[in-house]
Structure formats: structure tokens, C-alpha cells
Structure 1
Amino acid sequence: MIPDWSPDRLRRALTVAAGPSSDYDLNPDVAPPAGTLRAAGVLAAFHEDDGRLVLTKRASGLRHHPGQIALPGGKVDAGDADAIAAALREAREEVGLDPAQVDLLGTLPPHRTVTGFAVTPVIGIIRGSFQPRPEPGEVDEAFTLPFAHVADPSRYRVERRRWREGWRSYHAAPFGPYYLWGATARVLLGLARRMAA
């Protein structure tokens, strides 16, 4: 069943127990490299009116995940108190979202990426009028996806592609011209499953 939009659905989803996720979840034969993961935070911000979710298309010249669909966010900098602060700072920089407009609900367990980050998804509600504005050089496009798409586990499928002399499986949930896949799709699928529980 596709959940109807309600901030309470998000609040309840955050109470559902679940462990961390990883880009390696669908590839158990591939061992993650050893080493310390770099902390990062991303903001899954749903608008209070209808639950539309703010996403970005990352600039093609970026070092990590160029051209991919992503939640606003990035690594935790020295001036950030934690991953939540990093997610809010990056959302302001990348799409012009004032942190004062965000009603923070909580976080999901960290997601490990193949690029060596431990990404903490921060869940929030955007209050009031907001039109995303992409930051030139970092974001090619800022847009929203409907809650009905993001929150429906059946919209997510497993695909695979060649990667590092082998095959890598990953989650994907395409919507029109937007190819939502990889870490972002896995994080949002985890949230969708919690809402459906």
C-alpha cells in the first residue's frame, strides 16, 4: 500500500528499528575496503503541503558521484557540530533552504558508500514557501519528487551494471527524466519500508 502523505508517517517510520545500510548490501561477494569512513550528512526534506521531496542533480564536474541524483548534503566539515549540522549547511548552500524552515524529525542509521563515506540521512519537514535554487558549480538542477513515488517500496527495483571489472547490483527508482539510484535510492527505500511497516 502506498502511504498517503502525513508528517506523522515520517515520525512513526523513525521509530521502526533497522540497522545501517550499505552500497555493498546487494553485493555480498565484494568486501568493503578497510579504513576509516568519512562522516557525512544528507537532508531528506519533505514539504509540509504534500510531502514532495527535494533532490539535486549533482554537477558533472564533481569528484564524488558526478551527475547523479542525490539528497542535498556532504561531508562533515571541521565547523560542523555533527552530521545534522552538515546536512543543514549543505542544503542551504546547494538548494537555498534556510535551516529555520526545517522541522527536524530525526535520523536514519548511517549508510556506507563505495566512496568511503558514512552518510547519516537526516529527516525533516519544510515549513512555509520554498522554491529550490541550485548552486552553480555544485548542482546542475534542484527539483522535487512526489511523496507517492518516494514512499512506495514497489517503485524500487534492483538493477546492475559493470563496475571495477565485475557486476554491481544496486537499487533504482526512476521517475521521468530522473534516474534515482545507488546510495540515494537505498536510503529512501529504507525509509519507504519503515513507513510501510
Structure 2
Amino acid sequence: MKADPAVFDRIAGALARPGDPSSDFDLNPPLALPPGRRLRPAAVLCAIEEGPAGSQVILTKRSSALKHHPGQIAFPGGKQDAGDADATATALREAREEIGLPQDCVEVLGFLPPHETVTGFQVSPVVARVLHPFEECAEPGEVAEVFRVPLSHLLRPESYSIQSRRWRGNRRYYYTVPYGPYYIWGATARMLRVLAERLS
């Protein structure tokens, strides 16, 4: 199947519509979040590129040596630094550092609503098109692997399931969207689910 460039116009149009924020707590309504909590700003890049088999999303597998979320699947991204002008600057900087994606290789299509994580971050998901092939370079201290998932897989509602595990003494439910050997879950799966809902 050949890539369809019109998909990027469709994505940009969908992102322009307003939407409600998401969070790691969406499937756990009995959980009361503390009022006045202070969230740290962060951003991730949902980078979509055209491939021989169609559009695909670039994801990373975090290093098993990391203190937080070792081995988990994630978008390139991280906390906003003082020198970052905005969420877009954070997402693009992190993508350059983590996977070697040059900023001039990226066209920002829009943004998903902010996502609150259980670790106290408010994440701004930046959705972008990768304009041409680039020399991929995984940052060895943070990224164990860079891989791609077909956008078509991520946009199908049946690709998602709800799983649960014990967390801080309670049963916590979350979205998953597995692909091959990759178990995509938690905040990453939730943000992808929002993208799928926008494009449904």
C-alpha cells in the first residue's frame, strides 16, 4: 500500500478541533486528584512519516537503565526546560536529542489536548509530519530502540484494549495498544487513543 499524503491534511483538520484534556486517571473515576496540585510541563512528539507501506508513527523503547519508566514504550519527549520557548520547542529538542530527528525535517500539524500523568506532568502532545528520511541516532543513555508502528493500526479502535494492575494499593486501569513485540500502554497508549478518536 502506498502512502497517502492527504492523510496529513486530514490529521491537521482533526487537530484543529477543540477537545477535552486526557489523563492517566481517565479509566479510574473513583480516584480523587488533590486540588491545587502543581503539574510540571512536558511535551512529546508524535512524529508521523510516510513509508512504503503507508504512514507510520515513530516510537521509542526506553533504556532499561533509566530510573523512571525503564523499558517502556514512549514518544520522544520530556520535561520543558527553561530555555524552551514553548511545548513545540521542547518536543522538537527532545526528538533531536533522543532519536536524531532534525528540526528542519519536521512540519508541525497541530496539538492534542494536554495529558496529565500519574508522575505529575502535564504533557503537551505535538503531532508532526516527518518531511523526508533522516539519519536515525538513538541516544544510548535514554533510548534502547527506535521503531515504527503503522498509523492504520493505531487508528483502529479494535487495536486497543483496557488492562489493569495494582498501583499504590488500588486497581488501576489503562489503555494498551500492542504491536508485535511492543507493549504500548499507559500515557502513550492514551494519547494515541485520543488521536484515533479524533480521526474516527
- TM-score class normalised by the smaller sequence: over 0.9
- Three-state SS of the structure 2 residue aligned to 1:51 is strand
Say whether residues 1:157 and 2:161 are aligned partners.
Answer: yes
Say whether residues 1:71 and 2:75 are aligned partners.
Answer: yes
| Distance (Å, rounded) in 2 between the aligned partners of 1:162 and 1:139 | 27
TM-score relative to the length of structure 1:
0.93
Q: Percent of aligned pairs with the same residue?
A: 54
- In the alignment, structure 2 segments of 5+ residues that lack a partner are none
**Could you tell me which amino acid in structure 2 is paired with residue 136 of structure 1?**
P
- Three-state SS of the structure 2 residue aligned to 1:142 is strand
How many residue pairs get aligned? The number is 194
The residue that corresponds to 1:99 in the other structure is 103
The residue that corresponds to 1:15 in the other structure is 16
The residue that corresponds to 2:127 in the other structure is 123
**Could you tell me which amino acid in structure 2 is paired with residue 119 of structure 1?**
V
- Counterparts of 1:112-151 in structure 2, within 5 Å, are 112-151=116-155
The residue that corresponds to 1:46 in the other structure is 48
| Distance (Å, rounded) in 1 between the aligned partners of 2:159 and 2:88 | 28
- Three-state SS of the structure 2 residue aligned to 1:84 is helix
2:108–2:128 CA contact under 8 A, matched in 1: yes
- Three-state SS of the structure 1 residue aligned to 2:55 is coil
- Three-state SS of the structure 1 residue aligned to 2:191 is helix
List structure 1 runs of 4+ shifted beyond 6 angstroms. Answer: none
- Three-state SS of the structure 2 residue aligned to 1:52 is strand
RMSD: 1.7
- CA displacement at 1:4 relative to structure 2: 9.8
- CA displacement at 1:61 relative to structure 2: 2.4
TM-score relative to the length of structure 2:
0.92
| Distance (Å, rounded) in 1 between the aligned partners of 2:34 and 2:61 | 27
Say whether residues 1:173 and 2:173 are aligned partners.
Answer: no
- CA displacement at 1:131 relative to structure 2: 4.8
